[in-house]
A = this chain, B = another copy of it.
Amino acid sequence: MSGLTRFSVSLDKSLLDEFDQRIKQAQYPTRSKAIADLIINSLVEEQWAGGKTVSGAIILVYDHHKRGLTNKLTHIQHDFHHLIISTQHIHMDHNNCMEIIVVKGKPTDINNLTRRLKATKGVKHGSLAMATTGDKL
Protein backbone atom coordinates (compact mmCIF):
# COMPACT_ATOMS: atom_id res chain seq x y z
CA MET A 1 0.00 0.00 0.00
CA SER A 2 1.47 3.34 -0.97
CA GLY A 3 -1.18 6.01 -1.28
CA LEU A 4 -3.82 6.42 -3.93
CA THR A 5 -3.21 7.60 -7.45
CA ARG A 6 -5.83 8.86 -9.88
CA PHE A 7 -5.98 8.33 -13.65
CA SER A 8 -8.62 8.37 -16.34
CA VAL A 9 -9.93 5.60 -18.56
CA SER A 10 -11.79 5.72 -21.90
CA LEU A 11 -14.44 3.09 -22.45
CA ASP A 12 -17.28 2.45 -24.79
CA LYS A 13 -20.42 4.00 -23.29
CA SER A 14 -22.54 0.83 -23.63
CA LEU A 15 -19.77 -1.32 -22.15
CA LEU A 16 -19.52 0.97 -19.14
CA ASP A 17 -23.31 0.83 -18.69
CA GLU A 18 -23.23 -2.96 -18.60
CA PHE A 19 -20.34 -2.90 -16.13
CA ASP A 20 -22.06 -0.38 -13.84
CA GLN A 21 -25.15 -2.56 -13.74
CA ARG A 22 -23.10 -5.56 -12.75
CA ILE A 23 -21.10 -3.87 -9.99
CA LYS A 24 -24.33 -2.53 -8.53
CA GLN A 25 -25.66 -6.09 -8.31
CA ALA A 26 -22.44 -7.25 -6.67
CA GLN A 27 -22.75 -4.36 -4.17
CA TYR A 28 -19.37 -2.84 -4.90
CA PRO A 29 -18.96 0.48 -3.05
CA THR A 30 -17.25 2.18 -6.02
CA ARG A 31 -16.29 1.59 -9.63
CA SER A 32 -12.64 1.95 -8.60
CA LYS A 33 -12.92 -0.96 -6.16
CA ALA A 34 -14.50 -3.15 -8.86
CA ILE A 35 -11.73 -2.31 -11.32
CA ALA A 36 -9.06 -2.83 -8.65
CA ASP A 37 -10.50 -6.32 -8.08
CA LEU A 38 -10.23 -7.23 -11.76
CA ILE A 39 -6.66 -5.93 -11.88
CA ILE A 40 -5.58 -7.78 -8.74
CA ASN A 41 -7.14 -11.03 -9.95
CA SER A 42 -5.19 -10.80 -13.18
CA LEU A 43 -1.97 -10.03 -11.30
CA VAL A 44 -2.48 -12.94 -8.90
CA GLU A 45 -2.91 -15.26 -11.90
CA GLU A 46 0.38 -13.91 -13.26
CA GLN A 47 2.10 -14.50 -9.92
CA TRP A 48 1.05 -18.15 -10.03
CA ALA A 49 1.94 -18.59 -13.70
CA GLY A 50 5.22 -16.72 -13.36
CA GLY A 51 6.67 -18.59 -10.40
CA LYS A 52 6.57 -15.67 -7.95
CA THR A 53 6.11 -16.32 -4.22
CA VAL A 54 2.42 -16.88 -3.64
CA SER A 55 0.16 -18.09 -0.89
CA GLY A 56 -2.91 -20.26 -0.89
CA ALA A 57 -4.78 -22.98 0.91
CA ILE A 58 -5.00 -26.70 0.26
CA ILE A 59 -8.29 -28.26 1.30
CA LEU A 60 -8.50 -31.99 1.92
CA VAL A 61 -11.60 -34.01 2.65
CA TYR A 62 -10.97 -37.50 4.00
CA ASP A 63 -12.38 -40.33 6.03
CA HIS A 64 -10.53 -40.34 9.34
CA HIS A 65 -11.42 -44.01 9.88
CA LYS A 66 -8.86 -45.07 7.28
CA ARG A 67 -6.04 -46.67 9.23
CA GLY A 68 -2.80 -44.72 9.31
CA LEU A 69 -4.13 -41.94 7.08
CA THR A 70 -3.71 -39.08 9.58
CA ASN A 71 -0.14 -40.20 10.18
CA LYS A 72 0.67 -40.34 6.48
CA LEU A 73 -0.74 -36.86 5.90
CA THR A 74 1.32 -35.51 8.80
CA HIS A 75 4.47 -37.15 7.41
CA ILE A 76 3.98 -35.60 4.00
CA GLN A 77 3.34 -32.19 5.54
CA HIS A 78 6.58 -32.45 7.50
CA ASP A 79 8.50 -33.12 4.29
CA PHE A 80 7.16 -29.77 3.06
CA HIS A 81 7.12 -27.94 6.41
CA HIS A 82 8.93 -24.89 4.92
CA LEU A 83 5.82 -24.26 2.77
CA ILE A 84 3.21 -24.63 5.49
CA ILE A 85 2.09 -21.74 7.69
CA SER A 86 -0.72 -23.39 9.61
CA THR A 87 -3.47 -25.99 9.44
CA GLN A 88 -7.04 -26.13 10.59
CA HIS A 89 -9.12 -29.23 11.13
CA ILE A 90 -12.90 -29.54 10.90
CA HIS A 91 -15.13 -32.50 11.73
CA MET A 92 -17.66 -32.45 8.87
CA ASP A 93 -19.73 -35.41 10.00
CA HIS A 94 -19.29 -38.81 11.60
CA ASN A 95 -16.88 -39.99 8.91
CA ASN A 96 -15.54 -36.98 7.06
CA CYS A 97 -12.83 -34.56 8.09
CA MET A 98 -11.73 -31.41 6.36
CA GLU A 99 -8.21 -30.14 6.74
CA ILE A 100 -7.15 -26.71 5.50
CA ILE A 101 -3.43 -26.20 5.05
CA VAL A 102 -2.30 -22.62 4.51
CA VAL A 103 0.79 -22.46 2.32
CA LYS A 104 3.28 -19.86 1.10
CA GLY A 105 6.04 -20.49 -1.45
CA LYS A 106 6.73 -21.15 -5.11
CA PRO A 107 3.78 -22.37 -7.20
CA THR A 108 5.61 -25.57 -8.33
CA ASP A 109 6.38 -26.57 -4.75
CA ILE A 110 2.81 -25.90 -3.65
CA ASN A 111 1.48 -27.89 -6.59
CA ASN A 112 3.78 -30.78 -5.69
CA LEU A 113 2.60 -30.82 -2.11
CA THR A 114 -1.04 -30.70 -3.26
CA ARG A 115 -0.50 -33.60 -5.65
CA ARG A 116 1.21 -35.72 -2.97
CA LEU A 117 -1.57 -35.13 -0.46
CA LYS A 118 -4.31 -35.85 -3.01
CA ALA A 119 -2.63 -39.07 -4.10
CA THR A 120 -2.71 -40.49 -0.57
CA LYS A 121 -5.08 -43.44 -0.20
CA GLY A 122 -8.17 -42.45 1.77
CA VAL A 123 -8.16 -38.79 0.74
CA LYS A 124 -11.45 -38.25 -1.07
CA HIS A 125 -10.92 -34.81 -2.48
CA GLY A 126 -8.19 -32.21 -2.56
CA SER A 127 -8.38 -28.70 -3.93
CA LEU A 128 -6.10 -25.71 -4.00
CA ALA A 129 -7.24 -22.10 -3.62
CA MET A 130 -4.78 -19.72 -5.18
CA ALA A 131 -4.30 -16.53 -3.19
CA THR A 132 -1.54 -13.99 -2.81
CA THR A 133 0.76 -12.85 -0.03
CA GLY A 134 -0.68 -9.40 -0.67
CA ASP A 135 2.80 -7.98 -1.11
CA LYS A 136 2.87 -5.05 -3.61
CA LEU A 137 -0.84 -5.36 -4.28
A interface with B by C-beta (< 8 Å): 1-16, 18-19, 22, 26-44, 46, 55-57, 59, 61-63, 65, 85-86, 88, 90, 92-93, 95-96, 98, 100, 102, 104, 115-116, 118-121, 124-125, 127-137
Extra contacts besides A1-B95, A125-B132 (5): CB < 8 Å: A1-B63, A4-B11, A8-B9, A34-B119, A55-B98
A22 CB contacts on chain B under 8 angstroms: 42-43, 46
- On chain B, the residues within 8 Å of A1 by CB distance are 12, 14, 63, 65, 95
In the complex the two chains form, is B43's CB within 8 Å of A14's CB? no
What residues of B have a CB within 8 angstroms of the CB of A27 in the complex? 115-116, 119
A7-B2 contact given A85-B90, A129-B57, CB 8 Å threshold: no
Output the least CB separation between A4 and chain B (Å).
5
Would you call B55 and A119 a contact (CB within 8 A)? Answer: no
Q: Is the CB of A7 within 8 A of B31?
A: yes
Q: How far is the CA of A136 from the CA of B129 in the complex (A)?
A: 23
With most chain B CB atoms within 10 A of its CB, the pick from A28, A37, A62, A115 is A37
